[in-house]
Structure 1
């Protein structure tokens, strides 16, 4: 603890678990024991798993069996866009379960059709057809399959700083280190090449301005297309706003430039909006910020706030036309599951009625953005803050001048300690954050209030003194 650091404390919440909640530590222990006895956890060494048993959640908070409450600055897996326990969505799921829990995708279903209609209405341009999947990875798998069949070409290009899912093609598209182990095991799909997207703070193109970064990143992408062979490239797959790999907001002109390159070379432009869609960046789809229409949009997560697994692909008429008389070789048992689609209809309707997308935009512009910039001014460990809506990153550095990362890329073990300490301090303060290497991500539900956002930022502000202890510059 540095001399300047105030004592870390857990703020007094204006509530707690719901009225009548009775702490039950014994039940919490039983839940945890069952987890450890039988569950295999994703992306973890199993001996390192130490889960907190969660008893419930409401709004922007969840709590354990002891009644300890956490402000959810993670939106769980950045999918709980309308928060915990939204009554309208819960009611819709219950109503659909009473009426019809399951019907195969070969039948017409009212909730499935209505969900597709609502999503198509929100999508830009002529993206008017929807193929449902169970989640985001499958959506990206099918988008690539559609693009390859539409163009008759094998290759797909994606960015190094990206995450597109854990299935075979999706992990091959992924640029972050989770791809490495899957490649070693032989499970990653081939015919994928990676390129560098724009990232001005750590520019690969020696750019000094957003305009330079955009132009040089587009020149680089075109060079990759040319060297890979334009006639072999089926698709460029991009997270509209890069998520897990850094909350990287594209500079003005970049997405329009990608659109132009794809048009010039006959390539399908796939916008991965699994994380950035449905209000996360203060628009229904992130591409709306730049008035760009891709050929395919993949979605999941926020489409129904993760209440029931659902994802999908929204496609242009040209892609749809490729399969009017040619059988599409793909499908899923649970494509357009009635319970999931009922949750999507209720979620989208609630977001419209309650102005949730507008709230996300306002909170980002008026509370989170200014709050993070103010925090950055107090902490030498903060190199940059960036984001839109309720989708922000705090990049931590050893030295602001050199921009050396506080935790090295792909680090593990003791090297991650500086950020581990920040995360632990956030949790001790009653806020649950998201983190990745040298970054803390600020990604609360789109429904968060001004007061709740400020509460979370205050906890993060105090926790960052832990990172400051590891800085070497001013």
Structure 2
């Protein structure tokens, strides 16, 4: 943790006040009613902590937007960005450069052998956009199927594919997207009582959706391998393999959205590895370089890559494979490997987070269910454990939910909250002591009446 002298704190407070005033005067915030927000100033960050405008440390249980997988200000990655800036800050993506080439090699080494090429983008939403475009051009079809309770990005196509309320005001019904229900036993749409029933009925529902939409019209099925913002509902292996089989049967491209779930977040390099499936396209971003410089991409199967061997791919980005971003990715992947961050996430998820959250759920009057793996956990908060009524409505918040979030922040933890859920998604290299400290804060917040 950082330690500030009184003079440093005074200077920091002045900087932070100016930053806040200018923000409120000139910055337009995403997903917000502009007059109703009072954004927290983050003045510094280091490791698993961020510091507010007063210099107060907050244990970052959000990894910001679940992207700072290596924590804040990792010295190796910061130095790699500085070193790259001395050599080559930017270049036309038509040219080869060493850091983009090396980043592509490191990424494809961690993927199945059939996914051997990478198209770099600037982030996750445009990775999804280009994955969909590739699938449509490869198949000659237009429709894309995605599940309700999903998030795929804020750009035009990605937000229409998204299956949560953020889509509503952006959805004109003409984007060629169709939604279906995925498996989620705790809030089953299929009246299932076991995971086996939920899996079977969800697959039957998907098959019927494909048949009734017309398989010959469907370019792709896109799935978050483990849905992130929507609630970290881990599917069964049988479900994921069933989706793969349906795609094969009907000639549909299977796109794995690994933007949030990838690069160690769930305790494996990519979350689809949990299910022994191989996608045709993989969209990634966030953890590839922990957001230190914006970067995303699409890993492309040999079959789809061959579609564009002699016919130009009609898409590109000025900053595709940006040298600073790719240098950060190279250093990030090396740091994750050298420091065994993926293994740390898997171990602490199994031995610390899972057991402690289950203990909390057993005694808390408002914790309905906990679910997750690695450093990727969701806590479903309810008004009543028997009825499972959410503590906040789907697509909104509530005074009770705001009270819980306020308690967590007052305890020195920065949470990731979405509707009626608190997510436990700290950096992959969080220490056991930090985890236990943060989980104790959550326990106190969930134990008191709301």
Corresponding residue to 1:68 among 39, 44, 56: 56
The whole-number CA distance in structure 2 between the counterparts of 1:353 and 1:67 is 31
Alpha carbons 1:300, 1:311 under 8 Å: kept: yes
> What's the TM-score once normalised by structure 1's chain length?
0.93
Corresponding residue to 1:446 among 413, 424, 428: 428
Trace 1:319-334 onto structure 2 (pairs within 5 A).
319-334=304-319
Q: What residue in structure 1 maps to residue 161 of structure 2?
A: 173
The whole-number CA distance in structure 2 between the counterparts of 1:21 and 1:147 is 57
Deviation at 1:189? 5.5
**Structure 2 residue 334 is matched with structure 1 residue 349:** yes
**Structure 2 residue 217 is matched with structure 1 residue 232:** yes
**Structure 2 residue 126 is matched with structure 1 residue 141:** no
The whole-number CA distance in structure 1 between the counterparts of 2:182 and 2:5 is 49
Alpha carbons 1:169, 1:189 under 8 Å: kept: no
Alpha carbons 2:67, 2:290 under 8 Å: kept: yes
Deviation at 1:64? 2.1
The whole-number CA distance in structure 2 between the counterparts of 1:242 and 1:137 is 15
Q: For 1:187-227, what per-residue CA distance to the aligned partner results, in whole angstroms no more than 9, with x for missing partners?
A: x7611000000001011111111111111111100100000
The whole-number CA distance in structure 1 between the counterparts of 2:210 and 2:436 is 45
**Structure 2 residue 350 is matched with structure 1 residue 365:** yes
Trace 1:290-301 onto structure 2 (pairs within 5 A).
290-301=275-286
Alpha carbons 1:78, 1:443 under 8 Å: kept: yes
**Structure 2 residue 46 is matched with structure 1 residue 58:** yes
Q: What residue in structure 2 maps to residue 22 of structure 1?
A: 8
SS of 1:22's equivalent in the other structure is helix
Trace 1:104-253 onto structure 2 (pairs within 5 A).
104-183=92-171, 186=172, 190-253=175-238
Alpha carbons 2:151, 2:230 under 8 Å: kept: yes
Corresponding residue to 1:80 among 57, 68, 75: 68
Q: 1:212 to 1:449 in 2, by over 3 A?
A: same
**Structure 2 residue 371 is matched with structure 1 residue 383:** no
SS of 1:128's equivalent in the other structure is strand
SS of 1:162's equivalent in the other structure is coil
Deviation at 1:409? 1.2
The whole-number CA distance in structure 2 between the counterparts of 1:199 and 1:125 is 31
Q: Which runs of 5+ in 2 are unaligned?
A: none
Q: For 1:268-295, what per-residue CA distance to the aligned partner results, in whole angstroms no more than 9, with x for missing partners?
A: 0000000000000000000111111000
**Structure 2 residue 438 is matched with structure 1 residue 456:** yes
The RMSD of aligned alpha carbons is 1.2
Trace 1:419-438 onto structure 2 (pairs within 5 A).
419-438=401-420
The whole-number CA distance in structure 2 between the counterparts of 1:242 and 1:21 is 45
Alpha carbons 1:168, 1:189 under 8 Å: kept: no
Which deviates more, 46-55 or 381-390? 46-55
Q: What residue in structure 1 maps to residue 240 of structure 2?
A: 255
The whole-number CA distance in structure 1 between the counterparts of 2:7 and 2:214 is 62
Q: 1:20 to 1:120 in 2, by over 3 A?
A: farther
Deviation at 1:17? 3.6
The whole-number CA distance in structure 2 between the counterparts of 1:137 and 1:281 is 20
> What's the TM-score once normalised by structure 2's chain length?
0.98
| Number of equivalenced pairs | 448
